Amino acid sequence: MKRRRRAALLVPLVLVSGVMHTLCARTTHDMNLDGLLDAHGRSTRDLRAHVPAAPRPAPSAATTDAPLWSGFGPDGGDVTDVGVSPVDANVALASVSPSANGGISGYDPHSGVYRSTDGGAHWSPLPAFESVWVDGLAFTGDGTAYAATVNFGLWKSTDAGEHWTTLDLGIGPYVRMRSIMVDPNDGATLWACLVANGPGTTSLMVSTDNGATWTDRTPADSGEQRDCDGVAVETGGTHRVSVIVNDWNFIGHVWRSDDGGAHWSEVTDGLPPYRFHAVAFAGTRLLVGGGDGFGDDDVGLYASDDSGKHWHSLSDASWPQLAVTALAIAPGDPQTIVAATIGRGINRSSDGGATWQIEVGGTANVATNAVRFAPGSGSRVRVGAMSFGVLDSTDGGASFSPANAGLHELTVRSIAPNPLDPEEIAFSFESINSGGVYASVDHGAHWVLQDLPSARYSRVAFSPTGVLHAIFAGPTSATQQEGLYRRNGDGSWSNLGPSMGPYFESRLGAVLFSATDPDLILLGGRDNGVAGAAGSIWRSTDAGATWAKVHAGIDFDTVTDFERVAGGDGNTLVASHDGQTPPQVGGVLRSTDGGTTWSDANDGLTEMAALPHLCQTPGPSPAIYLSAMTSNFDSGIFRSDDGGASWTQTAGILGVLLDVACDPFDPTVIYAAINSTEQPVLRSTDAGANFDVWGDGTATYAAANELVASVYHGGTQLLLGTSSDAFVLQGSDVVFANGFEGP
């Protein structure tokens, strides 16, 4: 977690300019989740008020004359579950787990559990869960807490979450759990949902002695079904239990037991053949929610009044999305149902589902994972959301507000300043199948969530005229398509395309605007799904009204960046591209006709030039710099003095370079972002020959996603988007209007 030291996924330690760096092999920095997206662009694994910037603890004192990095984005993170102690309402837990990056092994630097002792007003990470992926939380009536981890089994705390021990479920040391539920009829009885290791293996277990011993309760005839995604127990001592299990084809199944799980019968008939995520009893009624929100995988919310023999839909035409992730029933009031959805916030009914309040409390376009009423309360509701962290309601879910202070885990994908207004900054953030864009007009003092669909956005950029754009990177649906989005004067957004069809067919991540022709736009990336996998460049000469694909490269090449060569007729362009196919793995394309045609320009590059990025120096004789990986653990800085026609390597760096930025004033100063969780930015003051760590106070920061050097009040500022925050660094020579070296 960000406020403590973390290890990377692979941890060989290498000295770079005298500083220890944590390195990892090649990542999917530029087109995240590469190869893991389906035809809709989804991964297989209104809060519109001004959001204040997150307060940060003071950085450590500078040990050199380097300026200090400062985190200035809003708090947030991917919260998978929330829980409140029934003994002390001030004690709450929130599990934060990976979404956009990694996590398959159950160990990830952006995973863990946060704890609050003031009712959710402030959060602190629990050291015991450093880098441990947690999917579910639960409290018993006496305040005992449980945490369901991925690959590390079930953990237990008897002191309000301060200290934890692991429980042995009796099925091996690496138990991948989905959730843990306390039986409402007996606090000593626990139900554990697991990810099965294959057909016929355990996916549901029960303990009747506070977790000391466990019994397998997997439905005997579940066949190839593999994942238990939820369990519900009817109150009143009926011994009726229901469990949802999803098979290898992501089709959900509902099972019912009338004897506490000793015997089971399947009651799926009448439900849509898609994945289920939530199950609950509302009195004697059984509720099941599911769906993925993309394509035709619609489920929504269904109810049965006869224990699963017959089903009817509760999600009516007012629902903008039929994809439910979690359910909460108000204590003592089975008519009040709160449903969390994948990308359209929270829906609420106070009459058993007959009518609904949709996207309540400003939660439109928020992807939600969990929803719970506080123990014994029909008014206090907490939600675990993707990117937005914890949302809190004190009126039964009618309205919500962020409750994230101290939760610094927001994945910032791209960041950009407005060239006409240095106070305006925008960044995109993302989770596994959701995300959005924040913008600030006061240099990060306050942030406004933009009115865009909940989706991944691979790039934000301002045009030379100061208009904000964002590249939608999936998932697609009938109501939201990939392509370049433009912010209009009234704050609304328009999709400019290109779109090749109803599926996710263009994986774009680079954009270039003409400095002289406002109608000329270029986009780069690669094709996807049914459209193929060729590296691609798109060109529009009418401000995005129409598009032409002007380059189709090798399969699985990905165009990552553009530069327009300064001087001359303005028609010379350079594009970097990632690659996977030898002999040239990654490299450069060049155009001399304004982007109409492209050819290779790899003279002087190494055969591996992966994850490449570009920048251009200022002045009358500009040079173009390229950062690229030259082997699995090494990178290089390359320079071109002939407009990208040929290249010379200026430096070799031990580590994975993720971006490069040229100082806007000094052509000899070059910055580079390295995949390090300790010191993510390097600086050269000799035209790229040597690099040293630049910026103090970064020992707890996350690895970089994008690095930008821009002008701010007569000096240079660096903006850094990372896997858990947005950061700014301003040179010590900058003096602001208030007379101080800071705004």
Q: Which helix (H) or strand (E) holds 471?
A: strand 468-472
Summarised one tens digit per residue, pLDDT across range 376-404 is 998 999 999 998 999 999 998 888 999 99
Mean pLDDT of 90-114: 69
On the question of pLDDT at 10 being above 50, the answer is: no
- Of 294-298, 376-380, 619-623, 655-659, the poorest mean pLDDT is in 294-298
In degrees, to the nearest 5, what angle opens at C-alpha 101 toward C-alphas 44 and 473? 65
On the question of pLDDT at 637 being above 50, the answer is: yes
Same domain as 20, residue 137: no
The pair phi, psi for residue 381, each rounded to 5°, is: -130, 135
Of 699 and 114, the one with more pLDDT: 114
Peptide bond into 475 cis (omega under 30): yes
Of 97 and 49, the one with more pLDDT: 97
pLDDT of residue 222: 61
Grade residue 661 by pLDDT with cuts at 50, 70 and 90: very high
Pairing of strands 333-341, 624-629: unpaired
pLDDT of residue 13: 22
Mean pLDDT of 18-30: 33
Grade residue 732 by pLDDT with cuts at 50, 70 and 90: very low
Same domain as 366, residue 419: no
Hey, what amino acid is at 328? A
β-partners of residue 114 are 94, 125
pLDDT of residue 151: 77
And the tokens for 528?
A: 């996807």
pLDDT of residue 5: 25
Summarised one tens digit per residue, pLDDT across range 325-347 is 999 999 999 999 999 998 889 99
pLDDT of residue 478: 63
Same domain as 414, residue 364: no
Percent of the chain at pLDDT exceeding 90: 63
Of 27 and 430, the one with more pLDDT: 430
- Of 101-115, 319-333, 670-684, 685-699, the poorest mean pLDDT is in 101-115
Grade residue 113 by pLDDT with cuts at 50, 70 and 90: very high
Mean pLDDT for all residues in the chain: 85
CA distances from 512 to 70, 346, 381, 572 (A): 29, 37, 45, 13
pLDDT of residue 69: 84
- Please tell me the distance from the alpha carbon of residue 642 to that of residue 658, in angstroms, as a whole number: 24
And the tokens for 664?
A: 């806007």
Grade residue 66 by pLDDT with cuts at 50, 70 and 90: low
Residue 101 lies in a domain: no
Summarised one tens digit per residue, pLDDT across range 199-225 is 557 889 999 999 999 999 998 776 666
SS3 labels along 1-33: CCCCCCCCCCCCEEEECCEEEECCCCCCCCCCC
Q: Which of 325, 353, 375 is the last residue of a domain?
A: 375
Same domain as 530, residue 652: yes
Summarised one tens digit per residue, pLDDT across range 246-288 is 988 889 999 999 999 999 999 999 999 999 999 999 999 999 9
Residue 384 lies in a domain: no
Highest average pLDDT, of 19-23, 206-210, 524-528, comes from 206-210
Task: Identify the CA nearest to 612 among candidates 629, 598, 600.
Answer: 629
And the tokens for 620?
A: 């009358």
- Under 8 Å between Cβ of 500 and 531: yes
Pairing of strands 312-313, 324-330: unpaired
Same domain as 437, residue 576: yes
Summarised one tens digit per residue, pLDDT across range 584-599 is 999 999 999 999 999 9
pLDDT of residue 543: 96
In degrees, to the nearest 5, what angle opens at C-alpha 393 toward C-alphas 137 and 371? 30
Residue 3 lies in a domain: no
On the question of pLDDT at 44 being above 50, the answer is: no
Task: Identify the CA nearest to 640 among candidates 619, 623, 627.
Answer: 623
Hey, what amino acid is at 682? L
pLDDT of residue 195: 86
Query: The CATH number of the domain where 619 resides is what?
Result: 2.130.10.10
Same domain as 227, residue 331: yes
List the strands of the sheet with 112-116, edge to edge.
79-84, 92-96, 112-116, 124-125
- Of 108-122, 177-191, 249-263, the poorest mean pLDDT is in 108-122
Same domain as 702, residue 602: yes
Residue 563 lies in a domain: yes
pLDDT of residue 28: 35
Summarised one tens digit per residue, pLDDT across range 151-179 is 788 999 999 999 999 999 988 776 788 89
- Please tell me the distance from the alpha carbon of residue 54 to that of residue 665, in angstroms, as a whole number: 31
pLDDT of residue 98: 64
On the question of pLDDT at 33 being above 90, the answer is: no
Grade residue 30 by pLDDT with cuts at 50, 70 and 90: very low
- Please tell me the distance from the alpha carbon of residue 46 to that of residue 401, in angstroms, as a whole number: 9
Our count of domains for the chain comes to 2
- Please tell me the distance from the alpha carbon of residue 567 to that of residue 620, in angstroms, as a whole number: 8
Q: Which of 354, 375, 396 is the last residue of a domain?
A: 375
Pairing of strands 298-304, 285-291: antiparallel
Same domain as 62, residue 205: no
Same domain as 595, residue 673: yes
And the tokens for 169?
A: 């479920």
Task: Identify the CA nearest to 613 among candidates 512, 709, 706, 520.
Answer: 706
Summarised one tens digit per residue, pLDDT across range 464-520 is 999 999 999 877 766 678 899 999 999 999 999 998 777 777 889 999 999 889 999
- Please tell me the distance from the alpha carbon of residue 24 to that of residue 43, in angstroms, as a whole number: 22
β-partners of residue 624 are 616, 640
Grade residue 368 by pLDDT with cuts at 50, 70 and 90: very high
Range of the domain at 144: 132-152+166-375
pLDDT of residue 64: 46
Same domain as 190, residue 56: no
pLDDT of residue 175: 79
- Under 8 Å between Cβ of 2 and 409: yes
Residue 486 lies in a domain: yes
- Please tell me the distance from the alpha carbon of residue 64 to that of residue 453, in angstroms, as a whole number: 44
The pair phi, psi for residue 468, each rounded to 5°, is: -80, 135
Q: Which of 375, 399, 423 is the last residue of a domain?
A: 375
Grade residue 629 by pLDDT with cuts at 50, 70 and 90: very high
Same domain as 327, residue 206: yes
Please tell me what DSSP assigns to residue 388: B
Same domain as 137, residue 34: no
Of 351 and 5, the one with more pLDDT: 351
And the tokens for 133?
A: 């992926």
On the question of pLDDT at 23 being above 80, the answer is: no
The pair phi, psi for residue 129, each rounded to 5°, is: -105, 20
pLDDT of residue 99: 53
pLDDT of residue 223: 62
Residue 388 lies in a domain: no
Residue 474 lies in a domain: yes
Residue 579 lies in a domain: yes
- Under 8 Å between Cβ of 34 and 580: no
